[in-house]
Structure 1
Amino acid sequence: MDVFGQVADLYESARPGYPPEIADAIVAYHGATPTSVVEVGAGTGKGTEVLTRLGAPLTCVEPDPRMAALLASRFPDAHIETVFFEQWSPPADGVGLLACAMAWHWLDPATRNARARRALAPGGTLAIFGHRYDYADAGQGAAIRAALRAVDPTVRERPEDWFHQDVLTHGEFTNVHTEVFRRGLPLDKQRYLALMRTFGPYLARPPEQQRRGLDALSRLVDDFGGTVVLDLRTTLVLGRRAG
């Protein structure tokens, strides 16, 4: 997850936030305001913006010190622990809500569900949420995906409901529930390319490959008339600690 620290400021300015209704959905599912909240992989605080609306004591677990520093400056009332989730020690009596925004895939897939369950108090709630970036114009989406595959044929997308299935498969949580929020997000070329520069697959590529990818996308957006409209779908998965 520390790959994002090099672009922490860009990440904060370019990544879209989350619907505030997520906080209401969490409270409705949990049955009340959680007594305490822990956010795993908090980054610069895109998910934190929603979680602070709950009005509960908040701890943010973020391993990258550059992201954590920006997070602390934005949310001075939150307790920040600069550590990987796999090394983090939850309180002995557990927490009411464990949340993870757009970072579940960075956690150890063999242990993340079990660790999340153990971190929760009896009756505690797991809340995972994240965006899926698609395109309002199917033709534009197909052209963009083809251009990216031409630069790097190894590019793959996870299934849309992958973290819902991940939680179900591991069986650590009951009453698993999903809600989807959807909105159109128009971006001019500068904002769109800035967003693309914050994605993990882009940051993991060599500089020459990064340049070719951005050049290809820049030409496409020009062909589209200078604007891309994203079909931004935010999925929220909720689960209750089993046992």
Structure 2
Amino acid sequence: MPTLPREQPEQPPVEAHLARRIAESFGSDAARYDRARPGYPEELVARIVSTSPTRIMSATSTAGPGRTPSPGSIEDSGRSGRPLGPGSGVLDVLDVGCGTGIAGRQFLAVGCSVLGVEPDARMAARARATGLRVEVATFEDWEPAGRTFGAVVAAQSWHWVDPVAGAAKAAQVLLPGGRLAVFGHVYEPPAEVAEAFAAAYRRAVPDSPFHGQPARRPLSVYRAMYAKVADGIRESGRFGEPEQWRFDRVRTYTRDQWLDLLPTTGPLTGLGPGPLAEVLGPVGDAVDALGGSFTMSFTTLATTAVRTGGSLDGGGGAAVRSPSPPGSTGSPGTAPTRPAGPGAGPGAPR
């Protein structure tokens, strides 16, 4: 399968979270990134929302991630400018490595209040243009300033964060019972397409650190990567036992759609027009040989854990509503909580 390092990093000579040049290269074409990258299963978003603590709103409190309530008005929830009613609860979400806001907008759409943290100013600008509030910094250097959140999410970005320091910082800003959720996609294009990419990339970029991996790798390899995420969470000592969630889907790509996606991936973001054309040409030919499109399965994996402890590390003064118990319905528009496992997610294209 093609290497898609923002989601599924190969293992370069240094740890991914130290490879800042690659980590901050995705903004070279932020508009394409935002257009071509797929979103996340609605069920994943709903499970995070329905199992994370919300901040209870009153007629005299103002909402917003990390701001303590102040008298005067009811804060905008972030969804189409609609104010929250008295007594309502809102989930404050911190989106780590938010990119162009693909995941963040999905949380906004279900009524959450979202703050993004993104090291690439170009990606941050694109996210802001689509309605997301973003602060430019690496997560390790970002200053919470006493702000707290009900959920910290990282969509295809956690491998650029120091795994132990990142988990400790997430715990610092999470409310008691708050959820850390790290997730990303595993693509499985046909062997013909993946092998064409691998061969063309080796020819175009012979000295790349991303060589040495098979064109397609089994899902078990990526599950092992998410198991390492769980190890970092455990090492922080601030969370309950991590859970592994899985969502399976199927998607059809045309030749043009696939060639639009590939330049947004780590191995290709830094290539000039010539080498990029050398890679995309053979891949396009491979898709043409399949009839101009292909249908592939892809899986979204998540490692998630709940912050333990009964006191706030990062401050904040809003009242908190606990998440719904397992098996109950969450807030309007969310799915009931249920155990994760193979086949837990939707199986049809979105």
* Structure-2 residue corresponding to 1:25: 47
Question: Is 2:97 the counterpart of 1:41?
Answer: yes
Return the alpha-carbon distance in structure 1 between the equivalents of residues 130 and 201 of structure 2.
37
Q: 1:2-151 residue pairs with structure 2 within 5 A?
A: 2-30=24-52, 35-75=91-131, 78-92=132-146, 94-109=148-163, 111-135=165-189, 137=190, 139-140=191-192, 143-144=195-196, 146-148=198-200, 150-151=202-203
| Residues 202 and 211 in structure 2, CA contact (< 8 A), matched pair in contact too | no
Contact 2:53 2:91 survives alignment (8 Å): no
Specify the code of the residue in structure 2 equivalent to 1:8.
A
Return closer, same or farther for 1:169/1:212 CA change in 2, 3 Å cut-off.
Answer: same
Distance change >3 Å, CA 234–CA 115, structure 1 → 2: same
Q: 1:53 to 1:149 in 2, by over 3 A?
A: same
Give the letter for the 1:143 counterpart.
E
Q: Which residue of 2 aligns with 1:239?
A: 305
The farther-off stretch of 141-150 and 168-177 is: 141-150
Structure with the higher helix share, 1 or 2? 1
Tell me if structure 2 keeps the 8 A contact 1:37–1:59: yes
Q: Distance in 1 between matches of 2:91 and 2:194?
A: 45
Gaps of 5+ in 2: 1-22, 55-88, 310-350
2:285 corresponds in structure 1 to: 219
Hey, what's the Cα distance between the residues in 1 that align with 2:154 and 2:274? 33
Match of 2:71 in 1: none
Cα deviation for residue 118 of structure 1 reads 2.2
C-alpha contact (below 8 Å) 1:93/1:121 kept by paired residues: no
- Structure 1 residue ranges without an equivalent (≥5): none
Contact residue 53 and residue 177 of structure 2 kept, 8 A = no
Q: How do residues 154-169 of structure 1 correspond to structure 2 at under 5 angstroms?
A: 154=211, 156=213, 159-169=221-231
SS at structure 2 position matched to 1:90:
coil
Query: Equivalent residue of 2:150, what SS?
Result: strand
Query: Which letter does structure 1 place at the counterpart of 2:49?
Result: V
Conserved 8 A contact 2:196-2:286: yes
CA positional deviation for 1:146: 4.6
Paired residue type of 1:46? I
1:58 counterpart letter in structure 2: V
Q: Distance in 2 between matches of 1:93 and 1:209?
A: 45
Paired residue secondary structure (1:39): strand
Q: CA deviation at 1:205?
A: 4.4
Identity of aligned residues (%): 31
Q: Deviations over 1:19-67 (max 9, x none)?
A: 1112211134336676421101111111112221442321111122221
Q: CA-atom RMSD, angstroms?
A: 2.5
Q: Secondary structure at the match of 1:30?
A: coil
Q: Describe the shift of the 1:60–1:133 C-alpha distance in structure 2 as closer, same or farther (beyond 3 A).
A: same
- TM-score normalised by structure 1 residue count: 0.86
Q: Which amino acid aligns with 2:97?
A: G
Counterpart of 1:165, as a letter, is: A
Q: Are 1:180 and 1:236, in contact at CA under 8 Å, matched by a contact in 2?
A: yes
Q: Which moves more between the two structures, 15-24 or 114-123?
A: 114-123
**Higher mean displacement: 16-25 or 102-111:** 102-111
More strand by share: 1
Q: Does structure 2 conserve the Cα–Cα contact (< 8 Å) formed by 1:113 and 1:167? A: no
